């Protein structure tokens, strides 16, 4: 990779479909390259999928650390810092990070969240949108700050809520938009442009 290209580490917890879209997007003239996919679960199926694409992988099981988030993060930092990332992308990474960890990567850590933030931070976003009777739902990419699912907006994509939607059908419609939104935001962000990407 050329010295001008940004080095991107992607953090996952599960299947990593967003991670795959990010990895696949970073070809040809893209201003970034994937240098590491890191999971908090050694069984995360996204690890094998990343390895099959030739990306370095690592995992640090959070469970032995119990509630000691700082100790877990210290272990997480070992493979992470060794990969010398310029940008961190949280992609379905389901652990809350401490302010100290967030501060270390201030201004260069992104997250994708399956709601139109500031609506519905946290979990069960699709069911909450349905329960509220919302006419539209969507996803958000934002810069990670110490506050959960907050931080400056980098992109947002909207989908309609359709009659008869369940959390599953709505979630699938939103996920398809996540797969378009996150690569578009990363490309722009890696080129130094923080203008929000708006889709839908
Ligand atoms: C995605 O929908 C992502 O937005 C969500 O988890 C899913 C991961 O899917 N993230 C969060 O809820 C973060 N709080 P993936 O592993 O297939 O990318």
Residue pLDDT tens, the chain, 200 long: 888 899 999 999 999 999 999 999 999 899 999 999 999 999 999 999 999 999 999 999 999 999 999 999 999 999 999 999 999 999 999 999 999 999 999 999 999 999 999 999 999 999 999 999 999 999 999 999 999 999 999 999 999 999 999 999 999 999 999 999 999 999 999 999 999 999 99
CA of 3 to the centre of ligand 1 (A): 31
- Written as six digits, the tokens of 190 are 């890696």
Asked whether the beta carbons of 194 and 150 are under 8 A apart, the reply is no
Pocket test for ligand 1, best of 113, 118, 142, 180 (most atoms within 8 A of CB): 113
Residue nearest to atom 6 of ligand 1 (CA): 92
Protein residue whose Cα sits closest to atom 10 of ligand 1: 92
- Give which of 139, 143, 90, 141 is closest to 114, Cα–Cα: 139
The one-character DSSP state at 164 is T
Task: Report residue 156: phi and psi, to 5°.
Answer: -150, 140
Residues sharing a CB contact under 8 Å with residue 108, sequence separation 6 or more, in sequence order:
86, 87, 88
Nearest-atom index, ligand 1, CA of 178: 4
Hey, which residues are catalytic here? 113
Task: Report CA(139)–ligand 1 centroid distance (Å).
Answer: 10
Compute the distance from residue 104 Cα to the ligand 1 centre, in Å: 23
Residue with tokens 């908090």: 40
Domains and CATH numbers, the chain: 1-105 (3.40.50.170), 112-200 (3.40.50.170)
**Which whole-number Å values give the CA distances from 126 to 49, 54, 123, 158, 180, in the listed order?**
26, 33, 9, 13, 18
Whether the Cβ atoms of residue 51 and residue 16 lie closer than 8 Å to each other: no
- Would you say the CB of residue 154 lies under 6 angstroms from ligand 1? no
Quick one: which atom of ligand 1 is closest to the CA of 15? 16
153-160 and 87-90 strand pairing: unpaired
Q: Is the CB of 31 under 6 A from ligand 1?
A: no
Q: Report the distance separating Cα 115 and Cα 24, nearest Å.
A: 24
- Using CA atoms, how far apart are residues 162 and 159, in angstroms rounded to an integer? 9
Each residue of 22-80: pLDDT tens digit?
A: 999 999 899 999 999 999 999 999 999 999 999 999 999 999 999 999 999 999 999 99
> Residue with the nearest Cα to atom 16 of ligand 1?
16
- Residue 150: CB within 6 Å of ligand 1? no
pTM of the complete model? 0.97
């Amino acid at each position: 990779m050329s010295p001008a290209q940004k080095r991107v580490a992607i953090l996952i917890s599960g299947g990593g479909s967003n991670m795959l879209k990010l990895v696949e997007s970073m070809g040809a003239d893209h201003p970034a390259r994937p240098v590491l996919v890191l999971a908090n679960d050694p069984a995360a199926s996204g690890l094998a999928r990343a390895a099959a694409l030739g990306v370095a992988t690592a995992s640090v099981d959070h469970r032995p650390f119990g509630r000691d988030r700082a100790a877990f993060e210290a272990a997480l930092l070992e493979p992470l810092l060794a990969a010398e990332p310029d940008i961190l992308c949280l992609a379905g990474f389901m652990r809350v990070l401490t302010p100290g960890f967030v501060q270390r990567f201030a201004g260069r850590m992104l997250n994708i969240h399956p709601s139109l933030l500031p609506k519905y931070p946290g979990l069960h976003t699709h069911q909450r949108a349905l329960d509220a009777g919302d006419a539209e739902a969507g996803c958000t990419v934002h810069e990670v700050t110490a506050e959960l699912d907050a931080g400056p907006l980098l992109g947002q994509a909207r989908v309609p809520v359709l009659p008869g939607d369940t959390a599953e059908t709505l979630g699938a419609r939103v996920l398809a938009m996540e797969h378009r939104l996150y690569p578009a935001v990363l490309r722009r962000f890696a080129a130094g442009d923080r203008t929000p990407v708006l889709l839908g």
